[in-house]
Chain A
Amino acid sequence: MRKHRRTLDGSRVVDVFLIVLLVLFTLYTLFPFYWMITTALKPASEILVVPPKFFPSSLQFENIPKALSMAPFGTYFLNSSIVTVTAVIITVFINLLAGFSFAKYSFPGKNALFLVVLSTLMIPMQITMVPNFIILSKLGWLNSLVGLIIPSCAEAFGLFLARQFISEIPDELIEATRVDGAGELRIFFSVIVPNCHALIGVLVIFTFMWRWNDFLWPLIVVKDQAHYTVQLGLKVMQSYQYVDWSSVMSASLVCILPMVVVFACFQRFFVQGIAASGIKG
């Protein structure tokens, strides 16, 4: 009896310690958001002060349009949106199609090709960015949105996930449609796509996040301000000799808004996608 109580107390100490850890860590993840919002909305006179003001005396919402008018953010948003939306559509389409092929057909060279794709899973673009830059210049795609969109549309992780997911769709469903005289592309659209909601959700969300937040590739490819994405625009704003922190934070707030909304609506897909990547290991 005594022993039992002692172990109980011991685990209670551990529990309290863990809860404290959790609360402290939550402060660490959430406080920067509070600090970004208040820095963005503070009156200009309260930014560069010691001690810093934890609670702004008033919230100046006009800081946000003012910050966005300091650079052509409208153009940046348009570019980022075009790149993100086009890339999502192309990526999801070609990865689903290839995943379908690898999952449901047998053809000579299939396994070898899939292995080649898998082996690129670990090769980051940072290693191939120099040759890719040269290839892009030969294609005449430097400094263009096409050059931003196309090169990373084929994606090993997406293809891997698609093949995995589609191979679990029963063959009978496909056969039944084929017997009805449907062409292979019809089968893809009428059987595969409607049965892949979760897969499509994961692919859309991850491609969206990755493209919207992409920085290194646009940094290399784009030279003209006319083709800047929001991330490039933000970085430029932060590189001025005297950084206007309030404006940078205001613009940052607007730039993360699409991601935060997507996150709030589709959190489940984020979790599924990351979990799927983990199960693979």
Chain B
Amino acid sequence: MAATTLKRRKKISLIPYLFIAPNMILFLTFMIVPLFYTIYISLTKWNILGTPVFIGLENYQKLLTSKVFWRSVWNTVYYTLGTVPTSMVLALGLAVILNKRIPFRVFFRSALFIPVVISMVVTGILWSWIFNADYGILNYLLSLLGLDPVGWLIEPATAMIPIIVATLWFRVGYNMIIYLSALQGLSPSFYEAARVDGANGWQQFCYITLPLLRNTHVFVLIMSMIYSFKSFDIIYVMTGGGPAKATTTMVQYIYELGFQTGEMGRASAVGVLLLLFMVAFTLLQLRGEEGAK
């Protein structure tokens, strides 16, 4: 009797491990192992066809003195600065409106959100057509305003702008939904008290809504930054990193090195540096947040 309960208990205690096993095996194989593996590869010289040769920190040394690498860092920062603050401000503004009783609210909410479900390949193609230098609708609209046509995607100086506009097309709607659900969670009693004190809409927004949403701001900020840091599809489709490396971000650079020129070691080193940047930015953000509290 005692033996059977013991046996039964032992059998049960294996079950939770069995239930998590498929997940854990996949995590281990395609997440944890690759993470350490990429650090190892970054310390080697590895042409895709040959065998890896350990060279220490040489890849990092070469990268940190390479113009193309710093160009890719700058492009990543440019793209992030162009997409993150803009998408947050617009998303918050639109969420505030959609949180009011306005006509056609459901329609507007869906209209703002629908680009989120469209693939980035289609999004990129669509916006390249709109920004087409010769036949694009945008240059035509500019000509109606008496402005000269712009080369957009074919000019290094302007190529990042269409990519940012295309990114905002779906990112604002995504952030808007997060803000909207946060707004709906705020207690109306705060606003009633403020109204009794004679605060107008703008004051209520500045002194109640903004501070109460602090956690949401931090969350949206971190998510958006990670998202911008890792963007690939839309850039690859719209410019392929060109013209003249003007839109080669760090992820784009990893792809070029790893899968076009076959320098696995160098590509992994860019990946490790990108990860370090992301961790640093996130910690900085959380630190700043704690300091504010």
Binding site for B on A (CB under 8 A): 3, 7, 10-11, 14-15, 18-19, 21-22, 25-26, 28-30, 32-33, 35-36, 39, 47-52, 94-95, 97-98, 100-102, 105, 107, 110, 113, 116-117, 120, 122-124, 126-135, 150-154, 156, 159, 184, 188, 209, 212-213, 215-216, 219-220, 231, 234-235, 238, 245, 248-249, 252, 255-256, 259-260, 262-263, 267, 270-271, 274-275, 277-281
B251 contacts chain A at the CB level, 8 A cutoff:
yes
Contact A270–B116 (Cβ < 8 Å): yes
Q: Which residues of A contact B172 (CB under 8 A)?
A: 25
Q: Which residues of B contact A101 (CB under 8 A)?
A: 15-17, 19-20
Q: Which chain B residue lies CB-closest to A275?
A: B181
With contact pairs A11-B201, A130-B258, A249-B129 given, residues A281 and B215 touching in the complex (Cβ less than 8 Å): yes
Shortest distance from the beta carbon of B165 to any chain A beta carbon, whole Å = 9
Contact A35–B130 (Cβ < 8 Å): yes
Contact B117–A278 (Cβ < 8 Å): no
Report the separation of the CA atoms of residues A133 and B198 in the bound assembly, to the nearest whole angstrom: 62
**CB < 8 Å neighbour of A22 from B108, B128, B229:** B108
Report the separation of the CA atoms of residues A33 and B126 in the bound assembly, to the nearest whole angstrom: 9
With contact pairs A130-B41, A252-B126 given, residues A281 and B23 touching in the complex (Cβ less than 8 Å): no
B94 contacts chain A at the CB level, 8 A cutoff:
yes
Contact B17–A154 (Cβ < 8 Å): no
Report the separation of the CA atoms of residues A259 and B274 in the bound assembly, to the nearest whole angstrom: 32
Q: Which residues of A contact B61 (CB under 8 A)?
A: none
Contact A30–B201 (Cβ < 8 Å): no
**CB < 8 Å neighbour of A209 from B108, B117, B128, B177:** B117
With contact pairs A29-B111, A120-B31, A238-B237 given, residues A275 and B178 touching in the complex (Cβ less than 8 Å): yes
Binding site for A on B (CB under 8 A): 12-13, 15-17, 19-20, 22-27, 29-35, 37-38, 41, 90, 93-94, 96-98, 102, 108, 110-122, 125-130, 132, 134-135, 137, 140, 169, 172-174, 177-178, 181-182, 198, 200-202, 215-216, 218-220, 222-223, 226, 229-230, 232-233, 236-237, 251, 254-255, 258-259, 264, 267-268, 271-272, 274-275, 278-279, 282
Contact A48–B117 (Cβ < 8 Å): no
Contact B35–A128 (Cβ < 8 Å): yes
Contact A135–B34 (Cβ < 8 Å): yes
What would 17 more interface pairs be, CB under 8 Å, given A10-B202, A116-B27?
A32-B126, A95-B23, A98-B19, A101-B15, A101-B17, A105-B19, A130-B254, A135-B30, A154-B31, A213-B120, A245-B132, A248-B129, A256-B119, A271-B113, A271-B181, A277-B223, A281-B216
Q: Which chain A residue lies CB-closest to B106?
A: A267
With contact pairs A131-B38, A184-B12 given, residues A274 and B177 touching in the complex (Cβ less than 8 Å): yes
Shortest distance from the beta carbon of B179 to any chain A beta carbon, whole Å = 8
Contact B125–A120 (Cβ < 8 Å): no
Report the separation of the CA atoms of residues A219 and B237 in the bound assembly, to the nearest whole angstrom: 12
Report the separation of the CA atoms of residues A127 and B97 in the bound assembly, to the nearest whole angstrom: 38
With contact pairs A21-B97, A234-B121 given, residues A128 and B130 touching in the complex (Cβ less than 8 Å): no
**CB < 8 Å neighbour of A11 from B119, B200, B268:** B200
**Chain B at the A interface: mostly helix, strand, loop or mixed?**
helix
Contact B26–A123 (Cβ < 8 Å): no
Shortest distance from the beta carbon of A155 to any chain B beta carbon, whole Å = 9
Contact A107–B13 (Cβ < 8 Å): yes
Shortest distance from the beta carbon of A48 to any chain B beta carbon, whole Å = 5
Contact A97–B22 (Cβ < 8 Å): yes
**CB < 8 Å neighbour of A213 from B19, B119, B134:** B119
- 6 closest residue pairs by CB, A with B: A281-B219, A154-B26, A213-B119, A275-B181, A101-B19, A11-B201
Contact A47–B202 (Cβ < 8 Å): no
Give me 17 A-to-B residue pairs in the complex whose CB atoms sit less than 8 angstroms apart, sorted by A's number. Answer: A3-B198, A7-B200, A11-B201, A11-B202, A22-B97, A22-B108, A26-B112, A29-B173, A50-B140, A98-B20, A130-B268, A154-B22, A184-B19, A248-B125, A249-B129, A277-B223, A278-B178
**CB < 8 Å neighbour of A36 from B20, B126, B220:** B126
Q: Which residues of A contact B33 (CB under 8 A)?
A: 131, 135
**CB < 8 Å neighbour of A94 from B22, B110, B282:** B22
With contact pairs A94-B23, A123-B275 given, residues A35 and B129 touching in the complex (Cβ less than 8 Å): yes
Report the separation of the CA atoms of residues A173 and B233 in the bound assembly, to the nearest whole angstrom: 45
With contact pairs A130-B258, A263-B114, A281-B219 given, residues A275 and B177 touching in the complex (Cβ less than 8 Å): yes
Contact A245–B181 (Cβ < 8 Å): no
Contact B17–A124 (Cβ < 8 Å): no
Report the separation of the CA atoms of residues A122 and B282 in the bound assembly, to the nearest whole angstrom: 10
Report the separation of the CA atoms of residues A145 and B62 in the bound assembly, to the nearest whole angstrom: 37
**CB < 8 Å neighbour of B26 from A128, A150, A259:** A150
Contact B202–A14 (Cβ < 8 Å): yes
Contact B24–A252 (Cβ < 8 Å): no
**CB < 8 Å neighbour of B29 from A135, A212, A279:** A135
Q: Which residues of A contact B111 (CB under 8 A)?
A: 26, 29-30
Report the separation of the CA atoms of residues A248 and B130 in the bound assembly, to the nearest whole angstrom: 13
